[in-house]
Amino acid sequence: MVLATLPVGSSREVMVGARSVLLVRIGETVRAIEPICPHLGGLLADGTLEGTRLGCPDHGAVFDVTDGRVVADPFGVEPPEGAVEPIATYPVRIVDGAIEVDLP
């Protein structure tokens, strides 16, 4: 994917090989994360992005896209003791304007 096609403050689910990832652009930085909420499978591409925080559209879990940690648990339990696991994050680099993601 080309960096210029991902506007600042937006996210887009893309296929990297046979795997789906969610790209999130914050300023000139792009993050790649697991696209599915580990709580009940909500599609994070449909979530709300505020700064580096991405909220699940289904039950309100909120994740920090920079490191995948849970910022707000949907049941009001203070992380990390809540019912929601962190989301996976993947290394990203920009090469000649193209976004590249390293998957395990």
Q: Which residues contact 11 (CB under 8 A, 6 or more apart)?
A: 22, 23, 24, 25, 44, 45, 47, 49, 54
Interval 32-75: pLDDT, tens: 999 999 988 899 999 999 999 999 999 889 999 999 999 988 87
Q: Which domains are present in the chain?
A: 3-101 (2.102.10.10)
Question: How far is it, in rounded angstroms, from Cα 90 to Cα 32?
Answer: 5
Q: What is the pLDDT of residues 65-94, one digit of tens each?
A: 999 999 988 877 777 777 789 999 999 999
